Every structure is written in structure tokens, then in C-alpha cells.
Amino acid sequence: MSYETKQLRGMAYLLAECYGKPHWQAHYLSECPTKAGVDRYGLDEGARCVVCGQNATNAHHAPPKGVMRVFPLETGRGTFPMRPALLAVCGSGTTGCHGDIHAGLLKVEWAWDDPGFSDAWWDGMLSEGAAHDPGLYACGCWRVTDRDGNVVREARA
């Protein structure tokens, strides 16, 4: 991986890696974060849970919105403001798959298909203007694992 420690801004790599990645059947209703810290979102029509495939009722922020609302990805090509990805899920923050994610029973992370894609993201070649671009699914997917690290599902558009 070609990221530099300073690019992480003290954040764990797996958390920082989720910022700016494509949404899963959900979207922000505004291009800019709100000053109040509550960014409204919508579910896409027919949205299905990224974990189990059932009808989605909510959206999970990856990483959770309390970590950092906007992650400034610094690259040799400039600094790109990245927001958490939104993932359609069933349940609430305490029930269903959404509850299982918050309880630590499930983990959702972005997984690149090839380390070269990760290098290109952190170097700014893929990230420039690509925040939440569905085209990134050609390079990776959302991987859901249980607490033992077993893959439950890999989701890509």
C-alpha cells in the first residue's frame, strides 16, 4: 500500500479506506455536509440490505459518522474531501443487520480487487473527482465479515 501515515490523520487504515467509496443503494440528499452535523440521506428505490439482501430500512455510514464527518484525503494531486459511504441496511442502529454492525457482530469494509487500485487511490490517480463514484465497483467491493473474519457477503453494483 502506498499511503503515508500522515495521510491517515491518526485514523486506522480500514476506517480511512471507507471514505469516498461508492454508496450501496443509498445517497446523501445534499452535496455538502450540514453545519448541524446531521447529513440527510435517502435510500435508492428498491434498496436492499448490503448484508442480507432483505428490504433496506436505514443507511449505515462507513465509517460511522461520529468518527469524522469529512476526511481530507491528501495526495500528490491535491486534497479531496471525502465523506463516509452510505450503505443500505435493514433494521435500525440497534436492530437487524444495522444493529449487528453497531454491536460489532458484523464488520463492513472496502476491499480493493488488486493492491494497485489501493495505491492509485492513495496517490490521487483514482480519487480525483471520484468520491462515491459507482465506477469504483470495477476496482473493489464492500466486504461484510463476521466477528471471526468469515466473509458473509461481498457486494458490488
Mode of pairing for the β-strands spanning 71-75 and 78-82? antiparallel
CB 56 within 8 Å of CB 91: no
Cell representation of residue 54: 432483505
| pTM higher than the cut 0.75 | yes
- Report CA torsion sign: 141, 144, 148, 150: negative
CB 90 within 8 Å of CB 54: yes
d(CA 81, CA 72): 4
Q: Per-residue pLDDT for the chain (157 aa), expressed as one digit of tens each?
A: 567 888 988 889 989 999 999 999 999 988 776 665 567 899 999 999 999 999 999 999 999 877 888 899 998 888 988 999 999 999 998 999 999 999 999 999 999 999 999 999 999 888 777 789 999 999 999 999 999 999 999 999 8
Q: Which H, E and C letters describe 40-82, residue by residue?
A: CEEECCCCECCCCCCECCEEEEECCCCCCCCEEEEECCEEEEE
